[in-house]
Chains A and B, each alone.
Chain A
Amino acid sequence: MLRKFYAPGLALMAVAGFATQPAFAETPDEILASIRKEVAGTSGFQGFSAAHGESFFRAKHGNELSCTSCHTENPAGPGKHNKTGKTIKPLAPSANAERFTSRKKVDKWFKRNCNDVLDRVCTAQEQGDVITYLLTVKN
């Protein structure tokens, strides 16, 4: 009798265990490629640049804020929310495999953070440059 109850119970736990495993729907390269598609056709597009991405990431924009205000000078380390002080997980994929694995999430945060830091949305060029830079950051 006990065994009869055990088997389905264990099976259920196994299913629940699998369900909590993070499933990365996309890779950072795939997301970068889809952003590239948005600008590839525009005149003068010369690809994404890690150097441009880095200077954009570190520069102070409007509102006296930069990406580093929360994500710090080292994107491979943890950040801290400028207002609430809540810890932010590292932004560089080398330090945090969850980063840039969902286009929906990438779009959500670029929209929010660019509005806060620059008072406008970021262009596809800027987004691509920043991701390209972050992919070069070593842990």
Chain B
Amino acid sequence: MSVHNQIFLQIFAVTLLAMGITISAAHADDDRDERYADKPGERYGEGYSSKYGGENRGKPIQPVQTNAKFQQECSSCHIAYAPGLLPAESWRKIMAGLDKHFGSDASLDARDSREITDFLVSNASTRWSASTAPLRITESSWFRSKHDSHEISPAVWKSPQVKSPANCAACHRTAERGDFSERNIKMPL
């Protein structure tokens, strides 16, 4: 075996190991209600695009391969909301209006804006069939259904630690990395 081949093999092995670690972290289940969803012969996740009136978040919510610019720029003022939480059209609208982003100027230069838009659009919800494209995650049917008064007492929303429904991480302690699994929920109060 030549020296070149050996080096190639070694780099390959290290890369595989790194990929393995990333993939296992990203495979946390995000929704209890769909744990047994997949029937034999049905493609993964299919049949859930009509759920919530077509306004369903994607699966996965966070792609295995994230984007450094997205993580860096979108987490300055709030957590970097996972791209699968909204449909592609929502992200296009949000990114086109960054200079007036929910009452704040969050503008980026053209190059960064394009890179982040591409990442969000190509990893947007895969299960959104409605023609709607809300600007707020909290306006989508899946969100409202998952966070209705049966699930969460109104007192939780009023907690100073929550402050706003946009503050996912108040209860979803691992929201920052796109993990909304039930076992990682811990409500204040």
Contacts and interface: CB of A to CB of B under 8 A. Distances in A.
Contacts of A12: 11, 14
A85 B167 contact: yes
A116 interface: yes
A111 B104 contact: no
B77 A86 contact: yes
Contact of B78 (A84, A108, A111): A84
Interface in B24-73: none
A126 B143 CA distance: 43
B174 interface: no
Nearest to A112: B105
A8 interface: yes
- Size band of the interface chain A makes with B: 10 to 19
Interface string B104-123: 11111100000000000000
A37 interface: no
A12 to B, nearest CB: 5
B106 A9 contact: no
B109 A83 contact: no
A139 interface: no
A115 interface: yes
A91 to B, nearest CB: 13
